[in-house]
Amino acid sequence: MDILETLGIGKKNQGASTGTRWHRTTDNGVLEVTSPIDGRHLAAVYLASEQDYRDCTAAAREAFRSWRLMPAPKRGEIVRQIGEALRARKQALGTLVSLEMGKSLQEGLGEVQEMIDICDFAVGQSRQLYGLTMASERPEHRLYEQYHPLGVVGIVSAFNFPVAVWAWNAMLAAVCGDTCLWKPSSKTPLTAIAVQHILAGVVAANGLPEGLFNLVIGRGGTIGELLLHDRDVPLVSFTGSTRAGRRVAETVAGRLGRTILELGGNNAIIVTPHANLKLAVPAIVFSAVGTAGQRCTTTRRLIVHQSIAGRVTEDLLKAYGTLRIGSPLDERNHVGPLIDRRAVATYLEALQALRSQGGSVLCGGRVLDGPGCESGCYVEPVVATAENDYPIVQQETFAPILYIIEYSGPVNNAIALHNDVPQGLSSSIFTDNLQEAEIFLSAAGSDCGIANVNIGTSGAEIGGAFGGEKETGGGRESGSDAWKGYMRRQTNTINYGTALPLAQGIRFEL
């Protein structure tokens, strides 16, 4: 295929690289990559070995020794060039994202644009790695803090955003003076290989050391475990399920390492009687069915006041009736496939559990197998009625299933339902009532890391810090001051006088 050739993807591809150099392991297993769009075979990837991993981490450690000494704005210039290289390949890389992951072409292109945007953000950030100067209680002393590069940053990304989340981490880590080791999802390795080829051009053109950007594609039980236990990787940024994230947190904490965890979401939109439904309904539909429900910020619960529940449900069912399901490469379609047949099985199991727990499916629920849906990965988006305490509602199902949950009384009752799940990533309220909006955003309101008013739960901008609370994991990526997570903070005191006064008025005389 022309797209694959343009991005340097062959029929068979190596699974480990330190920059411009690719390892040659071929006897550790092979990933056969197929597209969820139509089931066609795209390419094969040789899995990395333990030795490949150790070679990449050694290269990353060695590159860090010189990279950390390069002035941060100079590091920012390298990131600027990476952004320009991504701009030149946006169409091809965005198309590959769609082919390999199954999201719509517009979303694939949008994901690459997100990479470009975070490069731009990081370039500016490279001149703003600010510390603070504090007033010392001792005369003729200066007290201040500064930030230093941390080391090798391990990045474990998920299939649903196969390249953007890597960029959130890697571009900020790069301007902070860190080197990176990337373990992508085994479901979407080709996009990672394509990005590594793009990076290689920038690395070679600038004479940068091998090991600045490293790629290791392998099994979680081998490569993943090596990464989690590696004391030479002081920070692991992990995106994935809460179950896997708990394992990451426990293992890395056991060696006193750091983690940034972006785990499950069970996101809700509250719709009050004061909502503008012309705004709310389209936002709910996109947040619930975008990326076929496979975003960590997908809306899974709709908490709507009982006085308007009938109207909202009717409007939603009409909107769902207009959704076009099919190839995401056809821009007329709204909903593409799930990532694989295992995801389809999870979708069906969730609907069976819903019915057994007392819920009702109002629309959707079928697996499609007609023309254009031969891969077996296409499903109908679901609108269902449920109660917030159903076990299946308390879980995150990575599929387009929207549970309608009614509430009565003031908005505080809706917020109580909203917060009564283990996860805490993204949230939203639709209301034109200022008091309701402010309560939702207050300390007594949403307990999520992201809280929105009159927009949906998905589609975060890169300028804000991204992440959640509770079982969503904690830590922040992308914008605001998330850069501090990739550095080590140091407090410094300088005595420029001739005496040696002690803090807290302590006296010590010899």
Eight-state DSSP code of residue 367:
E
Cβ neighbours around 349 below 10 Å, total = 13
Of 100, 111, 114, 262, which is the active-site residue? 262
Separation CA 265–CA 263 (nearest Å): 7
Cβ neighbours around 395 below 10 Å, total = 16
| 396 within 8 A of 423, measured Cβ to Cβ | yes
Angstrom CA distances, 499 to 205, 403, 454, 496, 506, stand at 53, 69, 60, 9, 14
Angle at 188 between CA 183 and CA 191, to 5 degrees: 85
Eight-state DSSP code of residue 308:
T
176 is catalytic: no
| Three-class SS of 424-485 | ECEEEEECCCHHHHHHHHCCCCCCCCEEEECCCCCCCCCCCEECCEECCCCCCEECCCHHHH
The sign one gets for the Cα dihedral 197, 198, 202, 208 is: negative
**Residues 6 or more apart in contact with residue 71 via CB below 8 angstroms:** none
Task: Return the bridge partners of 450, or none.
Answer: 426
Residue reference for tokens 């600010």? 130
Of the candidates 321, 320, 261, the one whose C-alpha atom is nearest the C-alpha of residue 293 is 320
Angstrom CA distances, 253 to 166, 248, 487, 490, stand at 22, 8, 17, 21
Of 176, 296, 373, 448, which is the active-site residue? 296
DSSP codes joined into one string, 154-188: EEE--SSSTTHHHHHHHHHHHHTT-EEEEE--TTS
Residue 250, CB half-sphere, CA atoms under 13 Å: how many?
6
262 is catalytic: yes
| 147 within 8 A of 484, measured Cβ to Cβ | yes
Q: Which residues are catalytic?
A: 262, 296
